[in-house]
A and B are shown apart, each in its own frame.
Chain A
Amino acid sequence: MEYQPEIQACIRGERLAQQRFYERFKGKMFALCLRYANSREDGEDMLQDGFIRVFRDLHQYTGAGNFEGWVRKIFVNTALQHLQKQKRDLIIVELSAYEPVEEDAPFYDTTQPAAKQMIQILQQLPPGFRAVFNLHVLEGYTHPEIAEILGISPGTSKSQLLRAKAHFKKLLDKSLIGN
């Protein structure tokens, strides 16, 4: 296996090996987290939790299947759990006494790569739409699988996806018109 020595070193808790592992996957996994996150900060939280979980569960990897796919699945799980937690417990309250300040970049910036713009649009989707859209369009899960993952019915998954795509298109059109 390509990563076997590195995996064994990480399991032993060798910090240098873990850092190399992090450097190898951080870009891809952070891009994945950003697609599920509300913001960059949120994505970094997902990334941190994902790596901690990977290092913790690395000994469970049996060598069967693609290692990167295994890591990716852990990150998807982590991202979904963050979404679920946000939906249930995380309450970020807009204080009426304060005016919102836009710290983020403009909604759509043609100078940025298309992927980054896609991610920004994805982050504008409601969390439920975002989860279904990511799982179906970008992760390739079927509706029954999504239904099992999210605890909804396959029919709901389909309808959510349709609405998510419509919402996504609307946001995309709006951003294109704005530019």
Chain B
Amino acid sequence: MEENLHQQDNLDDFVQKSLDGYEEDPSPGMWNRIEGALDTPAVQVPKSPGLTTRWSGNIRHWWSVAAAVLFVMLGWAGICTYYERKIIALEITISQSNSSQKALSPEIAAKVTQKVTELMAEQQHRGDYQNTVPPANAPENAVIIPKKTQKSIPKTGGQEYIAKPATPVNDRTNHQILDAKAAQKTINAPLSVDAATAGHHTAEVTTQTINNQAPNRQTDRATVPALQQNALQSNHHTPDNDPLTTPDNNTSTVVATHESGAEVTTPVANLLQSQPAETASKKIALEQLPGSSSLLQVPYPAPSAVPTLLPVIRPNHSGSDWYAGLRFTPGFIKENTTEKPTRPIERPVNGPRPARSTPVFVNESKKINAAAEWGLIFGKKINRYILLETGIAFTNLRQESVHQARFKFLEGRPHNSPGSGASRFDFDCNLNTYGGSAAVSLRMEQVDNSARIPATEPITVKITTNQYTQALKVPLLVGITFGKGRWKGVLKAGPEGYFTLSNQLEVNLLSSLNTKFQVESGKVPQLVFETTRRFSLGYRAAAGVHYRLSRHWSAVAEPVISGTFAQTDHLKQELPGIISTGVNLGINYHF
């Protein structure tokens, strides 16, 4: 042979010629095995990729995963869209309801309309103020005051008051802008009068900036005649006192320019601010308003329309609160052991089982093992209380299990191996785990060959296995939030898709609990592992707390329980489910 090998440079030819026409007979009992297998009812074997379809199996698998993920995402989007529309409809309904319920009473509306008409007439009569157009950067509820008015400060009786309007926002034009809240603050600010000034009383209206726009330089001073001080102070209505003021703080306030040049403010303009789309900037006299004869420049609705007191009342929550987060979930897993075994499917490992033999189902004494899960979640708050959440999580499970296979001696299959003096028997059993079902053939040998073993002699073998599973989980949860402030409680529950990525089973230890039989030394068990279906359905529920760290970030701690329902492998063999408990730890980013 060595000579032949050196003579032939081509290894292919050498091997081909060596094997050409070679035939070898199998064991004598081979035909009996085949005949026995032909006699047994056909078992539905999963279609395995053959010569031409080897790839298609993998592709089909990943396509099914992709389709499932897409299905979940589309479902999620559909649910969100549906609730979004419901919320919008609800807002419109609330808005209409408020408008109809809280419109001005006829008497007040008539009074306001009359006042507006008078103010307009007065404005036209005086004509000493230029019409202004709101600048582009003006806040929504801004009141426009021509600067010109602030500088025309007459002196009366040798006394003057110097008033500093509170934190106005200047635009680049000749306008001074106060937003609604700033103006309101101006009203409520204390007015201090410095009487120490000889011959003059100097008053400064000090306020705080409460709007987000940075106040620009504002050093303009307006001298207010002393006689007008009372009028100025009496013009400081508070929302609580003014019957025309709405309870909503988010309304505008008129900043009126006093006839003598000082600024006064009044929330009366609240009445006029409810329809900003139809407003125009006008100069209006305010003599008839209590405590003031000032001119007023306010946006107001068309006189023909009765203004609505309240703006649209929106829900406290925006309804479009998306968030994403990272999760780490340490925990424990345990199989849901089926204590009442069913008869397993005949799956001979080393040929057909003898007619007297019955396969043994083994599934018990599962240990609890540690597990971990890493995930990425996406969620949306539908309203103040309801949220939807999905995501994807990777889990790596290692489950150590202890099985006890109980046979009877008659169930053993005699195994005659040359050179072996002992009587050896193969015992077949099925190990069912959440990851699949395994057909195992254990070779046992008789300790004392001369001993006579009764057919019903019980033979128990302890089998320890390790199962390694990697899986992706896709939950679809509906949640309820409750609580106020930074702490919020959350309850979530829903179905969870479970995609098995890899699945392996190892037999680690065998030991016989019978003194007459022992596991044959040096012989490894033969094991055919039929993995569970790639996709299975489970459940997930969590209850925990969210702590708002900042506007965008929150921390999460949620005890969680999840699991899979009982499932089947490719051969329809029923398999136990799995249950895991742990704590979701993570952070959320709120968009």
Contact = CB atoms under 8 A, between A and B. Distances in A.
A33 B5 CA distance: 24
Interface range for B: 35 or more
B451 interface: no
Interface in A119-163: 119, 137-138, 148-151
A15 to B, nearest CB: 7
B35 interface: yes
Interface string B302-335: 0000000000000000000000000000000000
A179 B55 CA distance: 43
Contact of B49 (A84, A98, A118): A84
Contacts of A55: 38
A81 B48 contact: yes
Contact of B510 (A34, A48, A95): A95
Contacts of B2: 176
B23 interface: yes
Interface residues of A, number: 61
A39 B492 CA distance: 54
Given A18-B38, A90-B527, A90-B529, A113 B22 contact: yes
Given A92-B527, A101-B522, A148-B54, A137 B15 contact: yes
A76 B51 contact: yes
Nearest to B349: A45
A34 B528 contact: no
B54 A151 contact: yes
Contacts of B505: 91
B26 interface: yes
A97 B511 CA distance: 10
Contacts of B50: 77, 80-81
B170 to A, nearest CB: 71
Nearest to B22: A115
Interface of B: 1-2, 4-5, 11-12, 15-16, 18-19, 22-27, 30-31, 33-35, 37-38, 42, 48-52, 54-55, 58, 350-351, 417, 419, 504-510, 521-531
A89 B30 contact: no
A133 to B, nearest CB: 8
A17 to B, nearest CB: 12
Contacts of B507: 91, 93, 95
Contact of B54 (A28, A44, A100, A150): A150
Contact of A93 (B42, B55, B508, B531): B508
Contact of A89 (B31, B55, B522, B531): B531
Contact of B52 (A92, A94, A97, A148): A148
A138 B19 contact: yes
A27 interface: yes
A148 B59 CA distance: 13
10 closest cross-chain pairs (CB), A and B = A27-B23, A101-B522, A115-B22, A151-B54, A114-B18, A89-B529, A118-B18, A151-B55, A30-B26, A98-B522
A138 B34 CA distance: 27
A148 B53 CA distance: 8
Contact of A77 (B38, B51, B504, B521): B51
Contacts of A41: 350
A80 B350 CA distance: 19
A114 B1 CA distance: 7
Given A27-B23, A77-B50, A90-B529, A98 B38 contact: no
20 contacts: A18-B35, A27-B23, A41-B350, A44-B27, A56-B42, A81-B50, A84-B54, A89-B529, A89-B531, A90-B528, A91-B506, A91-B527, A93-B525, A94-B524, A98-B523, A103-B417, A114-B4, A114-B18, A115-B19, A151-B49
A51 interface: yes
A44 B16 CA distance: 22
Given A19-B35, A116-B22, 11 more contacts: A26-B25, A26-B31, A27-B24, A30-B24, A48-B351, A55-B38, A91-B507, A93-B527, A114-B1, A148-B52, A176-B5
B524 A93 contact: yes
A165 B11 CA distance: 8
Contacts of B510: 95
Contact of B26 (A26, A90, A117, A138): A26
A9 interface: no
Contacts of B523: 98, 101
Most buried by A among B18, B19, B27, B510: B19
B521 A98 contact: yes
B40 to A, nearest CB: 10
A137 B528 contact: no
B529 A91 contact: yes
B524 A44 contact: no
Contact of A51 (B34, B42, B48, B350): B34
Contacts of A113: 22
B1 A31 contact: no
Contacts of A30: 23-26
B4 to A, nearest CB: 8
A131 B419 CA distance: 32
A85 B46 CA distance: 12
Nearest to A141: B51
A59 to B, nearest CB: 14
Contacts of A169: 11
A73 interface: yes
Given A95-B510, A98-B521, A115 B18 contact: yes
Contacts of A8: none
A22 interface: yes
Contacts of A47: 26, 30
Given A92-B527, A118-B15, A31 B22 contact: yes
Given A22-B31, A99-B522, A91 B1 contact: no
B26 A148 contact: no
Contact of A97 (B1, B4, B23, B509): B509
A27 to B, nearest CB: 3
A76 B37 CA distance: 20
B346 to A, nearest CB: 14
A85 B530 CA distance: 9
Contacts of B521: 98-99, 101
Interface in A23-56: 23, 26-28, 30-31, 34-35, 41, 43-45, 47-48, 51-52, 55-56
A47 B32 CA distance: 13
B528 A89 contact: yes
A43 B50 CA distance: 18
Nearest to B37: A52
A27 B22 CA distance: 8
B94 to A, nearest CB: 60
